[in-house]
Amino acid sequence: MSAMDQLKQIRFEAQAAIEAAASSAQLEQARVEHLGRKAELPNLLRGVASLPPAERGSVGKAANQLRKELEAALETRQSDLERAELDARLATDVVDVTLPASPVVPVGRLHLVTATRREVEDIFLGLGFRVAEGPEVEHAYYNFDGLNFNSSHPARLWTDTFYVSEDVLLRTHTSPMQVRAMELHAPPLYLIIPGRVYRRDSDATHTPQFHQVEGLAVDEDITLGDLNGTLTTFARAVFGDERKIRLRPHFFPFTEPSVEVDVSCFNCRDGFVRDGSRCPLCKGTTWIEILGAGMVDPNVFEYVREFGYDPDRYTGFAFGMGLERIAMLKHGVTDLRLFYDNDLRFLEQFG
Amino acid sequence: MKLPLIWLHDYCRPDVSASELASRLALTGTEVDRILHHGVSEADCFIVGRVLSAERHPDADRLSVCIVATGEGDTAQIVCGAPNVAAGQTVAVAQPGAVMPDGTKLGKAKLRGVESSGMILAEDELAIGSDHAGIMILDEDLVPGTPLAEVLPISTDVLELEITPNRPDCLSVYGVAREVHAATDAPLTAPPWQEDSGSAGRVPGFDARVEAGDLCPRFTLRLFEDVKIGPSPPWLKARLSAAGQRPISNVVDITNYVMLLTGQPMHAFDADTVAGGILTVRRAREGETLTTLDGVQRPLDPDVCLIEDAAGPTSIAGVMGGARSEVSESTTRVLMEAATWNGPNIQRTSTRLGLRTEASGRFEKQLSPEAAMEAQAIATKLMVELCGARVVEGTIDVLEPVGSAPFDEIELADRTVERILGVAIPREECAAILTRLGFETRDAGEGLNVRVPHWRRDDVAREADLVEEVARIWGLDRLPVTLPSRRDAVGRLDVAQQLRRRAEDVLTGCGLSEAIGWSFAAPSFPQRLGLADSDPRSRFVTLANPMSEDQSVLRTTLLVSLLDNVRTNRARGNHDVKLFECGTVYVRREATDAAAHSGPGASERDAAVAPSAQRDAVLPVESTHVAALLTGSLRPVSWREPQPPQADYFAVKGVLAALLDALRVPWEVQAASEPFLHPGRSARILIGGLDAGWLGELHPTIVGGWDIASAAGFELDWATVAQAAVHVPHYRDVTSFPAVRQDLAVVVSDDVTAEEVLDQLRSAGGKLLRKAEVFDVYRGEQVGEGRASLAIRLEFGADDRTLTDEEVGVRRAKIVSTLAERLGGELRG
Ligand SMILES: [Zn+2]
């Protein structure tokens, strides 16, 4: 048999063996048999040098080519087998996909007051306001006098306000920071002041502590129309783009004119809900009171005139809203006391 | 205040429904709480009737069977139970179909077998008065069949108004009529006090002396003789009832009627009981007491203003009368008082005595002295008409000169209106609005000169006040909708605010929910936490007027709030609780404390130069803390983890690490305890060498006080955290020169802490050692009794080159030898 015939024979046998291998082990066996140290092809390659010179070139070339060919076939077969073996293994690895998930640590929630506070802050940040805070235990000067409350105003009564001493009290609103902020910063001033406030009151709609956000804008040309626009923007951001607001004249010692602000009801049509009954949110009036506001009273500027607040040059608006009230309206919470129970079943519904 | 529309219509009658009027008032500054209906409905069914005959009921002694003429020759048979019914009387009749004030509808009925179609009415059945002794007898001139509503105010809508404290003038029917006139432009009649049948001058036999002129700007008296005390006529009773006042007797009813109409309270003295015929207004003396009408003996002080006669005090001025001088059934001479009192002083007195009356509620808002004589004029007319009285010549009138000082004109410039409102309102329109409100205006070139009426004197004093008056009537719904021009205004959170949001987000991301606890606490909390008296956290702020003992002081630590919240949750069946709070604590300032305020707003304010510094010196120190408290399982029980790990020291340390590492705060802990912590599982948190708070498992005895078996937590001072946070991290090259990682196991004595090992390791490793972390701890036979093996992962690297094996080897050798020398550490394995 010529060398070339021998190569043909080897190719035929080796290919058959590779194809026939049904497992990695059988394939390895085929490799050893046909390409291993003692196999026919390596022997033949080793013996090329002893062939007549005329054959040496062609046989050597053909043998090398065959070796490469077989190595490639082995590799292909190897990966086919591995794939088949993996498929077989995966086919038996079946789980009950309906079992509960392996729980990651469930995320906690921000308190509804904090979530609402951030929502309000973000709206006013977008309108160019900054955020400031102030002390909760406050001097009566900042809580009342500097805000133009006369000395006999009923809010000063010990029945309404918590006192620590004659001059020191728990602030009843966030408004004292209006005066503090104006003492520190010359106009223009655009500020909101979120924070905890205290009043001697306790029932389903009053808790002795609650949260407010105060707003203050002082500049050379602030008008009541600007307050109207600012609060319209706010009301739409919180309660929906179709909302309208209306201003009703009111009385606060530190603003003039003073207004109460209503937002159009988002819970009903013309005062009635779907089942035809009167809307519980607006009580059929189609308006919901959300905050108090007004133009900064010139008397308040007089208290801080030395810090750059000339009432003839500057005007300003101020507003104050209850965060819990905004949250209750928006989320349908009916009892204010829930905010301070901190029951996880309540907390986890929001934030 | 209750405003019966039927009464309002005497002075101003806008052509709108009650609800339209209510909303117009609300939008011009008079809040309407609700609209009520007073009296009967289906008023057509109520008519005047005449009793033609009244026979005893055949089967019932107390009932009469009456035939009643009901007009146009018709008659009705009505069974009546009133004892006073008799033939010939003119009476009020309700016919079938009528709806009574309580809502019941009248039908035909049989009473003891006798048909009755209708009802002869008593006063209380019409909600006119409270009289139910018998049927109401009407004027005999009335024609049967006349609708009853033409004769008696049996039906009216009533607006319940909420009047702001600056508008005592609106606590009156005529005052609201003025507002309605301004708001609707419906005509307003002349004031009811315009004609006064009384006269000025001395009153023989009586006099008044005002010794406390500062508390009593005006004191007036009129004398009436031949007074016949009796019930008021139905129209008066009906009005008072509709306004929420119970009718009593004609004289008392007149004082109430005048008060409701004009806003000015009055007081009627029985003139014959005024000892000495002289009334003196003076301050009470120290230690003096007075028994008021309600029978209570009240201690007084010199700030309380009294009225007395020769026999002593008769009433607390402006608040409540005394029993001695009251009008009674036998009174024939009445001394009618109308006075003006100092508002703040009345408020103080009524607060101090805990005595609020209809009168004090008005006086405390400061009425004008002019109103006193307006009231006298109307009272005089009614005393004559309703009590058959004769007004005695003269009026005692003690008037403090200050109260009647002429008031100046206020300028209202056109441009001020536009500057405040953002829209120009024509001058004529401003003038028309102000005139309707009772102001006098005069054109003055650039605007108006405005004179304020006496009833607005305390409320309107400046240009801004006039702008408000104009704006509210002109219509706030017509304002432009604009945004401020916001020159130089940039909205952004400062660094501390951004960090705080980040902190809250990290903690919620770690599975903790945010609680907001009470700032209040019970004064026993330091004791319950085992805090020593000398501990600053025992220096709480005490409220002078708490609502309850449990909420009578302010917390100095968030732990007490969190413990309360965990207990609430456990009591409600939530056993695995993970909460945090970011809130304020309050510590009473000691004399030695710096005056600078370090409250939550400190980042916004430079306390050292704050103008408020002096006032702040008396305030407590407020700081923001961040605290967490965990109890129960860290994760929910699941089929893969039937027994999840419990909240312990290392669990909360993990939360703390997540928080501080997220904020890039360098921190470490040091074993140290607190009275409320487990002595062996607690530590101080150090940030930049500063004590930033505590960390640990709570002491079982302490948490037992909150019905909790075990819990772990931490509390941090937020300012210390925020100051140490790296807000703007600087880039470090991590790709050019790869790091070399190696593990090391070292065996040390059990009393050597991990932190001590790492400290030595870091100092020996030098700056090439970038990281060293304990990743395993082993105790047991292989390392010997009282010893522990720590497995530590080291990371070496340099910013400017890749380290050679030799360089790393040198460092490692140094580490090994340092651990051996300093801590007796042996390399293991
Ligand atoms: Zn609604």
Contacts of B639 (CB under 8 A, 6+ apart): A99, A100
* Nearest C-alpha neighbor of B306 from the set B294, B315, B295, B297: B315
The pLDDT score that the predictor gives to residue A6 is: 85
Q: How confident is the model at residue B496 (pLDDT cuts 50, 70, 90)?
A: very high
Half-sphere exposure of B68 (CA within 13 A, CB side): 31
With a cut of 60, say whether residue B811 has pLDDT above it.
yes
Q: How confident is the model at residue B173 (pLDDT cuts 50, 70, 90)?
A: very high
The pLDDT score that the predictor gives to residue A150 is: 85
* CB proximity under 8 Å: A 222-241 to B: 222-226, 228-230, 232-233
Q: Taking a C-beta distance cutoff of 8 angstroms, is the pair B104, B96 a contact?
A: no
The pLDDT score that the predictor gives to residue B591 is: 67
- Rounded to the nearest angstrom, the gap between the alpha carbon of residue A216 and the centroid of all alpha carbons in its chain is 27
pLDDT digits (tens, 9 = 90+) for B437-467: 999 999 988 999 999 999 998 889 899 999 9
Taking CA–CA distances from A184, the nearest residue in chain B reads: B610
The pLDDT score that the predictor gives to residue B586 is: 97
Q: What is the mean pLDDT of residues B118-134?
A: 82
Q: Taking a C-beta distance cutoff of 8 angstroms, is the pair B774, B754 a contact?
A: yes
Q: Which residues of A touch B341 (CB under 8 A)?
A: none
Q: How confident is the model at residue B598 (pLDDT cuts 50, 70, 90)?
A: very low
* CB proximity under 8 Å: A 25-44 to B: none
Q: How far A87 CA lies from chain B's nearest CA (Å)?
A: 27
Q: Taking a C-beta distance cutoff of 8 angstroms, is the pair B227, B388 a contact?
A: yes
Tell me which residue in B476, B482, B634 faces A229 most closely, judged by beta carbons: B482
Q: What is the mean pLDDT of residues B112-137?
A: 84
Q: How far A14 CA lies from chain B's nearest CA (Å)?
A: 48
Q: What is the mean pLDDT of residues A265-286?
A: 90
With a cut of 80, say whether residue A225 has pLDDT above it.
yes
Which of the residue ranges A145-154, B31-40, B148-157, B526-535 has the most confident prediction, judged by mean pLDDT?
A: B526-535
Q: What is the mean pLDDT of residues A227-244?
A: 96
A268 alpha carbon to ligand 1 midpoint, in Å? 4
Q: How far A249 CA lies from chain B's nearest CA (Å)?
A: 4
Q: What is the mean pLDDT of residues B408-416?
A: 92
Is B407 in the A-facing interface, judged by CB distances under 8 Å? no
With a cut of 60, say whether residue A47 has pLDDT above it.
yes
DSSP state of B552: S
Containing H/E element for A131? Answer: strand A130-131
Cα separation, A235 vs A243, whole angstroms: 7
Contact call for B543 and A170, based on CB within 8 A: yes
Is A178 in the B-facing interface, judged by CB distances under 8 Å? no
Strands (E), B145-189: 155-162
Q: Taking a C-beta distance cutoff of 8 angstroms, is the pair A323, A213 a contact?
A: yes
State the angle between helix axes of B463-474 and B427-436 in degrees (0 to 180), rounded to the nearest 10.
90
Contacts of B38 (CB under 8 A, 6+ apart): B4, B101, B127, B155, B156, B157, B158, B241, B242
Q: What is the mean pLDDT of residues B115-135?
A: 83
Q: Which residues of A touch B420 (CB under 8 A)?
A: 223-224, 257, 295, 315
Cα separation, B794 vs B596, whole angstroms: 46
Span of B135-144, B221-230, B563-572 with lowest mean pLDDT: B135-144
* Nearest C-alpha neighbor of A296 from the set A277, A275, A310, A282: A310
Q: CA torsion angle for B625, B628, B629, B632 (degrees, to 10)?
A: 180
Q: What is the mean pLDDT of residues A65-89?
A: 91
Tell me which residue in A154, A181, A347 faces B513 most closely, judged by beta carbons: A347
Cα A31–Cα A37–Cα A42 angle in degrees, nearest 5: 90
Q: How far B163 CA lies from chain A's nearest CA (Å)?
A: 9
Q: Which residues of B touch A221 (CB under 8 A)?
A: 419, 484-485
B29 alpha carbon to ligand 1 midpoint, in Å? 22
Query: Which stretches of B510-557 are DSSP H helices?
Result: 525-528
Is A108 in the B-facing interface, judged by CB distances under 8 Å? yes
Q: Which residues of B touch A287 (CB under 8 A)?
A: none
Q: Taking a C-beta distance cutoff of 8 angstroms, is the pair A210, A172 a contact?
A: no
The pLDDT score that the predictor gives to residue B46 is: 92
B38 alpha carbon to ligand 1 midpoint, in Å? 27
DSSP state of B122: B
Q: How confident is the model at residue B596 (pLDDT cuts 50, 70, 90)?
A: very low
With a cut of 80, say whether residue B488 has pLDDT above it.
no
Give the type of residue at B332: T
With a cut of 90, say whether residue B419 has pLDDT above it.
yes
Judging by DSSP bridges, how do beta strands B207-210 and B278-283 pair with one another?
parallel
Is A105 in the B-facing interface, judged by CB distances under 8 Å? yes
The pLDDT score that the predictor gives to residue B593 is: 55
With a cut of 50, say whether residue B607 has pLDDT above it.
no
For residue B441, give the 3-state DSSP assignment: strand
State the average pLDDT for chain A.
Answer: 92
Q: How confident is the model at residue A99 (pLDDT cuts 50, 70, 90)?
A: confident
- Rounded to the nearest angstrom, the gap between the alpha carbon of residue A33 and the centroid of all alpha carbons in its chain is 66
Tell me which residue in B351, B479, B486 faces A128 most closely, judged by beta carbons: B486
Tell me which residue in A152, A298, A344 faces B347 most closely, judged by beta carbons: A152
Q: Which residues of A touch B492 (CB under 8 A)?
A: 125, 130
Is B19 in the A-facing interface, judged by CB distances under 8 Å? no
Q: How far B561 CA lies from chain A's nearest CA (Å)?
A: 10
Contact call for B29 and A109, based on CB within 8 A: no
Is B34 in the A-facing interface, judged by CB distances under 8 Å? no
Q: Taking a C-beta distance cutoff of 8 angstroms, is the pair A317, A217 a contact?
A: yes
Q: Which residues of B touch A121 (CB under 8 A)?
A: 493
State the average pLDDT for chain B.
Answer: 91
In total, the C-beta contacts within 8 angstroms joining chain A to chain B are 299
Cα separation, A28 vs B13, whole angstroms: 112
Is B510 in the A-facing interface, judged by CB distances under 8 Å? yes
Beta bridge partners of B577: B631
Is A188 in the B-facing interface, judged by CB distances under 8 Å? yes
Cα separation, B454 vs B808, whole angstroms: 94
With a cut of 90, say whether residue A242 has pLDDT above it.
yes
Burial status of residue B368 (CB atoms within 10 A of its CB: 0-12, 13-18, 19 or more) = buried
Q: How confident is the model at residue B557 (pLDDT cuts 50, 70, 90)?
A: very high
Tell me which residue in A108, A157, A224 faces B514 most closely, judged by beta carbons: A108
Q: Which residues of B touch A344 (CB under 8 A)?
A: 513, 569, 574, 577, 579
Q: What is the mean pLDDT of residues B79-106?
A: 88
pLDDT digits (tens, 9 = 90+) for B761-781: 999 999 999 999 999 999 988
The pLDDT score that the predictor gives to residue A7 is: 86
DSSP state of B322: B
With a cut of 60, say whether residue B602 has pLDDT above it.
no
DSSP letters for B615-680: HHTTSPEEEEEEEEEEESBSS---SS-SSPPB--HHHHHHHHHHHHHHTT--EEEEE---TTEEEE
The pLDDT score that the predictor gives to residue A254 is: 94
With a cut of 80, say whether residue B323 has pLDDT above it.
no
With a cut of 50, say whether residue B124 has pLDDT above it.
yes
Structure tokens, A131: 């955020």
pTM summary value: 0.84
Q: What is the mean pLDDT of residues B721-745?
A: 91
- Cis peptide bond upstream of B83, omega within 30: no
Tell me which residue in A129, A248, A257 faces B27 most closely, judged by beta carbons: A248
Cα separation, B645 vs B447, whole angstroms: 78
Contacts of B107 (CB under 8 A, 6+ apart): B96, B97
Span of A108-112, B88-92, B110-114, B593-597 with lowest mean pLDDT: B593-597
Q: Taking a C-beta distance cutoff of 8 angstroms, is the pair B155, B32 a contact?
A: no
Task: Give the phi and the psi of residue A27 in degrees, each rounded to 5.
Answer: -65, -40
